[in-house]
Amino acid sequence: MGEKDITEKILEDHNDVFADIINGLIFAGEQRILPESLENTAVHSQYKADDEKVHELERDVAKYWKDQDVQLAICGIENQSSVEKYMPFRIIGYDGTAYRSQLQDKRKEILPVMTIVLYFGTEHCWYGKRNIKGLMKIPEGLDDYINDYKMQVFEVAWLTEEQISRFRSDFKIVANFFVQKRKNKDYIPDDPTEIKHIDEVLKLLQVMTGDEHYKEVIRKKKGVRSMCDVAERLEKMGIAKGIEIGKSEGIIEGKMQVYKNLLERGFSEKEAKEITEIPETMNA
């Protein structure tokens, strides 16, 4: 996640979500990976380079995929809220370190390593290069001899309805949120689907949108079961903020502004006056 790394457990740490993302994006919804076939692997990779110093790289999340006691692959997921120019080099660094670790462990068979990037930006598609050759000036005549390395980027906010329908976990809720947010910046969450991993979903939204209001929702998450509940909490926080501003700039003016906002949102005059504590006799 770059500068937006969070130390708490992230959504993709949960096997049901991790498997769902890979199945939905890589296997077109086919349930190839089962949650119980995934095993955590270290996100911190250490290796000793030629300078005898120990170097370390850290992924967002990575897991072993095992099937019938046979290790098949190492899968990694990286979250990005913005385009990072040199991301392809970061990915080759992660994957290369995973291969190096296997060599140092003297494995008889080297497991393939796959890393995907989930891009949550809503302003524009991923405009950066997706391979390392695209980031280098290669002298004439050497192109055929320089190995390339591509990264797989999935633009979450640009997924189609068909693609979103392939998900079965909380990631379906997350993907739908970012698609709607791209289409309408003022989108108010209206997904009634029950969220399984409340904390992790809210933290992902907070980190990837940069909206600090989600922190407050996390702190007072009791009773929050869906994005509809989240929207209600955010709305109440907005009302409270408006009233607080009114106290410093003039209580009546602040309440009247909140009152008008409530009417625009579809509240009746009676409901709006009750919320803002404006007397019934006062003409708005």
Give the tens place of pLDDT for each residue, 172-212.
999 999 999 999 988 888 899 999 999 999 999 999 988 88
CA trace torsion 274, 278, 279, 284 (10° rounding): -110
d(CA 262, CA 271): 9
d(CA 75, CA 267): 48
**How confident is the model at residue 240, as a pLDDT?**
47
Domain boundaries, the chain: 2-186, 212-284
Please classify residue 157 by burial: count the beta carbons closer than 10 Å to its beta carbon, then call 0-12 exposed, 13-18 middle and 19+ buried. buried
**How confident is the model at residue 6, as a pLDDT?**
44
Nearest of 43, 133, 129, 139 to residue 86 by alpha carbon: 129
Report, as ranges of residue numbers, the positions in the chain whose pLDDT lies below 50: 2-7, 44-56, 240, 243
Across the chain, what does the average pLDDT equal? 84
d(CA 279, CA 147): 74
Nearest of 52, 64, 57, 55 to residue 18 by alpha carbon: 64
The phi and psi torsions of 64 (rounded to 5 degrees) equal -80, 140
**How confident is the model at residue 179, as a pLDDT?**
97
Q: Tokens 């891009």, residue?
A: 119
Tens digit of pLDDT for each residue in 118-155? Answer: 999 999 999 999 999 999 999 999 999 999 999 999 99
Determine contact, residues 224/258, Cβ cutoff 8 Å. Answer: no
**How confident is the model at residue 107, as a pLDDT?**
82
Structure tokens at 87: 């991301």
Q: Tokens 């913005």, residue?
A: 82
